[in-house]
Amino acid sequence: MNKKTIITTLLALVAMVGQAQEKREYNISGFVPDGIVKVYLYKTEGLGNRVFLDSAIVADGKFTMKGNRPAYDLVSLGNKGLHSITFFVDGEPMTVDFANDTLIASTLNEKFQGYMAEDKVFTDNFYRLFMASKKAASETEKHETEQQITANNEAMIEQARRVIRENRDNVIAAYFLQAASGYMDYEELSAVIDSTTYYFNHPLMNEARQRLQVLQLRQVGKPLTNFALADPDGQSHQLSEWCGQGKYVLIDFWASWCRPCRMEMPNVIQNFERFRDLGFEMLAVSIDDKKSAWLRGIKDFGTPFVQLSDLKGRNSELAAIYGITTIPANLLVNPQGKIIAADLRGKALTKKLEEIFNDK
């Protein structure tokens, strides 16, 4: 490593440390409806766990709160009976009127609230459809509702992609990358994770950076690693029995307990039946750990293609090789046995197969 490279690396490290240590003030004043006696500042970590950071006593329907947090920390303000407001600590004063649902803040945070309002439409729609699917009177009605859920989720991710494109110069992109990164392939994700931007080192980027490392394991152009798995009868098979044998092969990772897999499966089956006679094959790799659950899932899902598993659950060796940490997930392999795409869902799967087989 030459002297210039060493200096550049050290400067980058200094910049990263400086960002990590930088503090910004939050200076909040606000109004709340009758009956609210206290307002809390908190962070949400893990599976909805709240970490309380600060609080303010309400007097005559008003409160003030002031303190310091790491620069651009994402925090929330609220209490029972209030709609929480999530914002970035950017050092600019903020006035919140919970009674009239208004916010006066920095350009960054007002812009963020606008995007959050758009996102809430999708979230509310998801919960409405989810409850409708649970109350469906027939399998046909349930299937139609689940298709609407899939379409709603796809629209939500497209909205997140748009927000990321519009905010490459600020931390808003980091927030929306949390949701969208799981739907991006290596090329798309590596293009939006730019190490020269401020948000690259933001804690919200941890999951996206980890996913990029995972996607490198199944990068387009890599030859598929051969592996042995058993079918439902206990017979061992090599992936090479199908992959690299002149057909396009989709290796689909699923599990009997996976509700998103259940919602995606009709789309997968529809594509298999449409393209199977054109040179398309499918291998369904279960991440179940109990054979009875696996067999029941095959029957419930009605999957008409090859079924394989090592019945090691989340410790599946094949899943580990390709960095499969969430399902549904898939790999599309070309006739020569090389990966050409990953994590194709919904319309993206159909579009890719239409391109391959020139069938629209």
Closest CA to 46 of 158, 257, 198, 203: 203
Residues 195 and 131 in one domain: yes
Q: How many residues does the chain have?
A: 360
Residue 174 contacts residue 160 (beta carbons within 8 Å):
no
On the question of pLDDT at 5 being above 50, the answer is no
On the question of pLDDT at 211 being above 90, the answer is no
On the question of pLDDT at 298 being above 80, the answer is yes
* % of the chain beyond a pLDDT of 70: 93
Domain's final residue, options 194, 217, 240:
217
Tokens of 274: 């449409």
Q: Where are the beta strands (DSSP E) in the chain?
A: 23-31, 38-45, 49-57, 62-70, 74-78, 85-88, 94-97, 102-104, 228-230, 236-238, 248-254, 280-286, 306-309, 329-333, 339-342
CATH number, residue 292: 3.40.30.10
Confidence category of residue 293, pLDDT binned at 50, 70, 90: very high
Closest CA to 65 of 34, 33, 100, 25: 25
Residues 166 and 240 in one domain: no
Residues 275 and 298 in one domain: yes
Confidence category of residue 6, pLDDT binned at 50, 70, 90: very low
135-184, pLDDT tens digit by residue? 888 888 888 888 898 889 889 999 999 999 999 899 999 999 988 887 88
Under DSSP, the state recorded for 202 is: S
Burial of 127 (0-12, 13-18, 19+ CB in 10 A): exposed
How many domains, the chain? Answer: 3
CA 252, 185, 227: angle at the middle one, nearest 5? Answer: 40
| pLDDT value of residue 349 | 92
| pLDDT value of residue 21 | 64
Residues 348 and 228 in one domain: yes
How far, CA to CA in Å, does 17 sit from each of 69, 73, 166, 202?
15, 15, 27, 12
| Cut 0.85: pTM above it | no
Collapse the DSSP code of 45 into the 3-class scheme (helix H, G, I; strand E, B; otherwise coil) and give the result: strand
Our measurement of the distance from residue 105's CA atom to the centroid of its chain's CA atoms, rounded to an integer in Å, reads 28
Tokens of 126: 């998801």
Return mean pLDDT, the chain: 87
Residues 56 and 100 in one domain: yes
Residues 68 and 129 in one domain: no
Query: Rounded distance, CA 341 to CA 221, Å?
Result: 9
| pLDDT value of residue 249 | 96
What is the per-residue burial (b if ≥16 Cβ within 10 Å, else e) of 185-197? Answer: bbeebeebbeeeb
Residue the block writes with tokens 């110069």: 169
- Amino acid at residue number 143: H
Give the DSSP H or E segment for 51.
strand 49-57
Residues 274 and 254 in one domain: yes
Query: Rounded distance, CA 334 to CA 321, Å?
Result: 19
Residue 165 contacts residue 176 (beta carbons within 8 Å):
no
CATH number, residue 95: 2.60.40
Domain's final residue, options 158, 185, 217:
217
Tokens of 84: 């929480």
245-260, pLDDT tens digit by residue? 999 999 999 999 988 8
| pLDDT value of residue 46 | 65
Residue 201 contacts residue 19 (beta carbons within 8 Å):
yes
| pLDDT value of residue 259 | 83
Rounded to 10 degrees, the C-alpha dihedral 240/282/152/115 comes to 10
Residues 266 and 206 in one domain: no
Radius of gyration of the chain, Cα coordinates, nearest whole angstrom:
24
On the question of pLDDT at 29 being above 60, the answer is yes
Closest CA to 75 of 32, 111, 28, 37: 28
Q: What residue numbers bound the domain in which 308 lies?
A: 220-357
- Amino acid at residue number 290: K
- Amino acid at residue number 17: V
319-340, pLDDT tens digit by residue? 888 888 788 889 999 999 999 9
* Of 60-64, 84-88, 265-269, 283-287, minimum mean pLDDT range: 265-269
On the question of pLDDT at 196 being above 90, the answer is no
Tokens of 190: 């590596």
Domain's final residue, options 50, 83, 104:
104
Tokens of 94: 């903020």
Residues 166 and 69 in one domain: no
| pLDDT value of residue 47 | 59
135 vs 2: which has the higher pLDDT: 135
Residue 156 phi, psi (nearest 5) = -65, -40
Residue 88 contacts residue 170 (beta carbons within 8 Å):
no
Residues 202 and 266 in one domain: no
Residues 181 and 282 in one domain: no
| pLDDT value of residue 13 | 42
Residues 94 and 147 in one domain: no
